[in-house]
């Protein structure tokens, strides 16, 4: 099973805001929805999906296991709870949210528990999020080559993570890019503005098209229906070699998220 290249994210969205966002996204044609246990919005995402009228078989739903549930006797039960909230019998993809190298539960235990959840039919695919190269290697050693569908990592024109993404490509692990707009910081970039003008596009579309052309999946979020619609148009934007070369020079290791105790030592 492949990972959809374009989905809607729900990070930092709660209550009616996330219901409206997911509902609008599904009406506009999105078919992949990304959430997580720690977002506190799985029930609202489930409500929006249930009320959308879109057949479950047409959707690709991703959630992420939080660190409180990494132990082998907690992971599957926590995923059962997620399924109840999401009003579904299974999710399409379940990720370990953070490697949490200082956590009391070791990587071998939580990766084995995640593989067991897949064996039980709770999730169709499994993956990781925010893992560096070394921890990705360790995860592969536990579950086997070809079992990790994606590594969802922070990526933007300001944080291009070339060493990690090259390794993931070599391992045939799909890259899912989150925070592709760097919390909106790239929206004021003059180089991106020039490229956007050239293509009669928005800067957000340019940043998303950049990630898509590099073969990454993207999961941008918005509470505004017009932005959700606009973002989708990035799928049809074709950047040329000059555009991509100029964007490659924007790398500045501009990481926005690296929580102590959860994040690895970055490559």
Domains of the chain: 8-183+216-222 (3.20.20.100)
203, 177, 223, 202: which is closest to 4 by C-alpha?
Answer: 177
Find the mean pLDDT for residues 22-34.
Answer: 98
What pLDDT is stored for residue 99 in this prediction?
98
| DSSP summary character for residue 204 | H
- Answer yes or no: is pLDDT of 68 > 90: yes
d(CA 97, CA 102) in angstroms, rounded, equals 14
The DSSP result for 101-128, as a single string, is TTSSS-HHHHHHHHHHHHHTTSEEEEEE
pLDDT, tens digit, for every residue of 154-196?
999 999 999 999 999 999 999 999 999 999 999 999 999 999 9
pLDDT, tens digit, for every residue of 128-148?
999 999 999 999 999 999 999
Q: Crossing angle of helices 15-28/42-52, nearest 10°?
A: 40
What pLDDT is stored for residue 134 in this prediction?
98
CB 28 within 8 A of CB 232: yes
Active-site annotation, residues: 39
Percentage, residues of the chain above pLDDT 90: 99
- 3-state SS assignment for residue 192: helix
What pLDDT is stored for residue 19 in this prediction?
98
What pLDDT is stored for residue 261 in this prediction?
96
241, 246, 253, 234: which is closest to 160 by C-alpha?
Answer: 253
Q: Which two three-digit tokens encode residue 132?
A: 């560096």
Q: Is the pTM of this model over 0.75?
A: yes
């Amino acid at each position: 099973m492949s990972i959809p290249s374009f989905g809607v994210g729900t990070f930092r969205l709660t209550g009616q805001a996330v219901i409206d966002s997911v509902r609008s996204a599904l009406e506009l044609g999105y078919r992949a929805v990304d959430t997580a246990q720690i977002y506190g919005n799985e029930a609202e995402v489930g409500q929006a999906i249930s009320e959308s009228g879109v057949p479950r078989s047409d959707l690709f739903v991703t959630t992420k296991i939080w660190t409180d549930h990494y132990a082998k006797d907690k992971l599957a039960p926590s995923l059962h709870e997620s399924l109840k909230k999401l009003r579904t019998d299974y999710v399409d993809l379940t990720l370990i949210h953070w490697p949490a190298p200082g956590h009391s539960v070791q990587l071998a235990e939580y990766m084995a528990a995640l593989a067991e959840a897949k064996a039980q039919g709770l999730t169709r695919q499994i993956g990781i999020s925010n893992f560096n190269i070394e921890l990705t290697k360790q995860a592969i050693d536990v579950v086997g080559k070809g079992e990790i569908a994606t590594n969802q990592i922070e990526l933007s024109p300001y944080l291009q993570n070339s060493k990690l993404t090259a390794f993931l490509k070599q391992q045939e692990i799909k890259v899912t890019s989150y925070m592709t707009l760097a919390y909106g910081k790239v929206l004021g970039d003059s180089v991106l503005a020039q490229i956007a003008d050239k293509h009669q596009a928005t800067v957000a579309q340019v940043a998303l098209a950049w990630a898509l052309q590099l073969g990454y999946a993207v999961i941008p979020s918005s509470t505004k229906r017009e932005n959700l619609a606009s973002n989708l148009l990035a799928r049809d934007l074709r950047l040329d070699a000059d555009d991509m070369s100029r964007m490659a020079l924007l790398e500045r290791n501009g990481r926005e998220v690296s929580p102590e105790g959860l994040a690895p030592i970055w490559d």
